[in-house]
Structures are given as structure tokens and as C-alpha cells.
A and B are shown apart, each in its own frame.
Chain A
Amino acid sequence: MLTLLKDLRRLRRQLDLPAPDHARSLAVRHVDAGSCNGCEHELTLASGPHYDLARFGFAVVASPRHADVLLVTGTVTTRMHAPLLAAYNAMPEPRRVVAFGDCALGCGVLGLASELAGPVEDVLPVDLRVPGCPPTPAAIAAALVELVG
């Protein structure tokens, strides 16, 4: 265990992470509205040691009640339409919506029209758009830091 922690410290030193220059934070609730799982995998690594988004004050929270930001991945399927709205409606004001990845933005979506409710902006008011298929962790970091700035 101690060796593990030591290794992590070493990794941190090697990575030379930029330091945050503000003292604000945002609580993020993620909803997968119909992704291919690529956006989720990159989001997960954005909290990993190479990018460590937590150091900019980002926390993924378990409940929409605790969230400032709703981060939506994937194009919205008919089956995720209602759960997505429920999550949004459970959030306190002020709240922001991030459409995350090309599918969420409605770019190059594949699928059957009858199974899809549309891109996120057809369903919710979108405040920030993060393009990419999937957005790389570096792009995620840049976009979210802008949101908190």
C-alpha cells in the first residue's frame, strides 16, 4: 500500500500538472443518454492521475440534487429521454447543461430515427458544447476549466 502511494507520488512529479489558479468548484452529474461508452471511458480517465480534474474543483456527485452541472453523453434515446429529464428536474438552480461528445451534439449520429429522441439540445437547454468522438481527457480538462473560470 505504501509503495503504491509512493508510486503515485512519483507519477505526479513526472506528470508536472498545471496548478489551478482559482478557488471555485463545480459538482457534476453525468447522465449517459445513449452513448457508445467511449465518452464514459474518457471521462473516467479525466479523473485519473494524468489529468486529475479534481484538482480544479470538479467532483462527480452521486445525485442530481447535489449537482451544478448535468453532463450528458450520447445521443438521447427514446428510452433515456424521461430519465434524463427527471435528472435535470431534480437539480437545484442555478444549473448548467454540458452536451458532451459528438453524439450529444447531434454530429454523425447513427441509429434508427424511431429509437432516438434527438441530440441533447432538442431535449434540454445546452450551455456548453464539448465536441470530439470522444473528447480526449485533455479537451475535457480545457472545456470544464472554462466552465468554472
Chain B
Amino acid sequence: MSRSPLNDYRTRIAAALEGGSRFGGLHASGGTVRTALVAPSGAIQFESAPVVDGRVTSIVDLAPAANWDEREAFDSYGVRFDGHEPLRPLVDHDLDLVSWTVPVRGPDAYQVAVGPIHAGVIESGHFRFHVVGDLILHLDARLFYKHRGLERAAEGHTLAEGLAYAGRACAACAVTNTVAYAQACEQVLALHPTAEVARARTILLELERLWNHLNDIAAVCAGVGLAAGNMRFAALTERARQLNAQLTGHRFLFGSVEVGGNRVAFDATAARAELAEIRAESESAWRELLFNASFSDRLPDIGVVSLEDAVTFGAVGPAARASGLAEDARATSNLLAYDGFTAIVPHRAAGDVQARLEQHALEVQQTFDLLASLLDAPVVAASCEPAGNGRAIGAARVESPRGATLCIVESTNGRVDRVRLRTGSYANWPVVAHAAAGCLLPDFPLINKSFELCYACADR
């Protein structure tokens, strides 16, 4: 091959992956395609390639996790990827079934279409199962029904105004998405979060994680049909949201993060007492679940994601850790107050529904511990401090309840030129589709609940 910039792009990415970096995200921006690579230290490195005649070389063979990113870059920015064949539509919907589904043929193979409207109070999205009888051979998930064009709509706004767009992407990850956005903007603006700002943000992130963990355990109970377990964890989720409202004025902590500092202030005493009670209640509820045989019999060996597949598909968050992948963006976050944090992996890292459920129970303890030690003093308003030089591109990676979320902000003159929010849910949706293959159709709701991904923050 001749040495062109495109080949260098691939060579550099291959070398970084070889050196232990992981694919972090890919996006198109003004005639360039940028790939983010995340080193084991958490450092984010960009490799860029110019778009020539509307084309760039694909890296999907080097990093299969780039599959969705490249498809999105074509649908939304018209960039073709040489070597990514077929480049199936992802965000685009006005197309033939054949164009976006994987052909599955054979005796008795047929398709079951589910959604976009689901049978409960669930977000909108479409699943097309290729099955023989009850056996799922392959699943094509078509999301983006809720695509609101938030990234494009943020363009041209000031960096401070852009925060609302990151927040609106998803209620379940609103703190994560806005903290990641704020950190990216602060790199652009040459600001550094002080210890007080970092501590306040870390508390908000863990409060968000707390209700999500409780909600996610409730969701698995619902997936099995265990109403008592579902209701009990729903009641605990309610208490966690009431606590959020008491501390910040909003049950989902909306509006509690800002660019350049922190303005949320509260006294931590009451929160500590309430958290201790929620903790005791959740521990007793969890013990009850463990002794429920008809519940626990439903969990093992379904929706299995092997460690190898978790790495290949770029799984993140509790789902990846339940497969034995010891990665957690909190462990490498030097802009937040997670000193000494290490990722936990379960003893039985089987990557099935049981392992993902147990991972929530493990990690909620971590969150209670973190909150207990962080809430040792009142939370006060504080500003970031000036540090170094500004940059044209800021990038921050923050661990959401679903996994690492990457926010990239490209800016000139204090305005948003391009913002890209690659959330934990976005990273994990292809993993859900993979986990479903080989399982029975009636198990899918449970498998899906064990990931409990947001549609909103994938669709944006």
C-alpha cells in the first residue's frame, strides 16, 4: 500500500490498539473523521483522517466497536467508509428492510417484529428478531426513533448554552452527560475543576448512579415477573429520587451541573442518615431476592456475553464488568474525586443475566461507600480555576450508570462547532443484540432488562 494520510490513520490506530488502548468513539466533523482512543491510563488520544471525495478508510476491521459510529457518520454526515461493507443504515429509517437487516435464511427461519411502541411504559425502538420457532438466530435493533438532532441543534450556541442539549439527551444519565460536557468545555476554556467542584460533581454522579442501580434491580425483577421484588426496589428508587429532590430541588438532578464550576450547595447531614437507611433496606431486600429460588433459577446462562466478546464489541460499564472486564472510567478520572477507586468484577464473571444483576448489587455498595465518605462536609458552590492553555477540542470520559460516556466538544470563539456524545448505552446496544442470539425469544425482555439501556441517550 502507498503511504497516504489515510493509511497512516489506520496504522496509528492499529498501533494504539496494539499498545493496549481501546476504541473510544468515532465522529465526522467538517471534512474530517476523528477516532478517539482511550489508553489504560484514561488518556484520550485522537487520530484523524481527512474526508477525500466523501470517503475515508474504515477501521471497523481493527475496532469492531466502531460499527455504529461509522454508520452514523454516513447517515448524518454523508461520509462513506471504504472497507465497511455493507454500510447498513443506522440513523436513517426511510429504507427497505433488506437494506438494514442482516439476511438470515434457512429452513423455517422467519422474522418477528417488535416495536417501536412496546407493551409497557418503555421507550420507543424497534427490534427485528430472526427466529426459528422460539430460538433467536439474530437480532437487528433499529433505534433512533427518538432522534431529536440534539448534537446538531447545539451547534452555534455558546458553550454554556450547549449544556442544556447534553442534559436533554437522557434523564437517567443527565448528570453524567452534563459533567462530561462541562469537563470537555473546561478543557477548551483552559479551566480546571478545583477539589470542591470535583467533589460536588462526584456526589451528583453517585446520587444518579444510586437510583439507577436500584431501578435496574427492580427492572430485572420485573423481567422475571417477580412483582414483590420489583415493587420493593421501586420503593427504594423512589426514596433515592426524593433524596435528590431534597438536596438539589430536582428528582433527576436536572440543572445541577454547570460549565466552569458548581453552584449546588447543601448540608450533607440529612443525606447521610437517609442514605444509611436506604442502604440497610436495600441490603435486606437483596437478601430476600437471593433466597427466592423461582427468581434466581431464571437468571443463569442466558444472554451470555463472554469476556472476549465484551472486548471485541466494546462493551462498557456494569455489563462489561459482569463479563470480567475490569474497566471503569471512575478509576482513571483525575477531574473527579475518585481517588483510590478500583473497578470491581464479580467472582462469577459469567456475563449472563445473573452476573449483570449481581454486579448491580456489588456496585451499589461501592456507591453507598463513596457517598458516605464524600458527604463528610457540606457541599458548597465553587468555581473552576484557570489552568494552562485552551484547546480547540475538549474530550472527557465519565462513567455513567450504563458505562463510560465520551463527550467531545469542538469549539471556536466560545461557540459549539461540533459536539458528540457517545454514551454508555450507545456502546452497549450492539452488545445486547449479540447477547440475544442463541437465546429464546421469551427470554429477551429479561436479557434486555439486565442491561437496562437508555434509548434516549443512544438516539439523542
Contact = CB atoms under 8 A, between A and B. Distances in A.
A4 B124 contact: no
Given A7-B232, A112-B152, A79 B252 contact: no
Nearest to B164: A110
Contact of A11 (B93, B235, B457): B235
A23 interface: no
Contacts of A60: 120-121
A20 interface: no
A110 B168 contact: yes
B146 interface: yes
A112 B171 CA distance: 19
A136 B228 contact: no
Contacts of B124: 31-34, 80, 83
B168 A36 contact: yes
Contact of B148 (A34, A37, A63, A133): A34
Contact of A133 (B117, B254, B455): B254
A4 B232 contact: yes
A83 to B, nearest CB: 5
Nearest to B172: A37
Contacts of B56: none
Interface stretch (A44-52, A91-99, A120-128, A141-149): A44-52
B15 interface: no
Interface residues of A, number: 47
Contacts, number: 139
B147 A115 contact: yes
A44 B456 contact: no
Question: What band does the interface of chain B fall in when counting residues whose beta carbon is under 8 Å from A?
Answer: 35 or more
Interface in A107-136: 110-112, 114-116, 133-134, 136
Given A3-B288, A74-B146, A45 B241 contact: yes
Interface in B274-293: 284-285, 288, 292
Interface in B205-247: 215, 228-229, 231-232, 234-235, 237-238, 241
Interface of B: 93, 116-117, 119-124, 144-150, 152-153, 164-165, 168-172, 174, 215, 228-229, 231-232, 234-235, 237-238, 241, 251-252, 254, 284-285, 288, 292, 454-457
16 contacts: A5-B228, A32-B455, A35-B146, A36-B174, A37-B457, A41-B252, A44-B121, A49-B231, A60-B120, A62-B119, A111-B148, A112-B148, A112-B153, A115-B147, A134-B171, A134-B252
Interface of A: 1, 3-5, 7-8, 11, 30-45, 47-50, 60, 62-63, 74-75, 77, 79-80, 83, 87, 110-112, 114-116, 133-134, 136-137
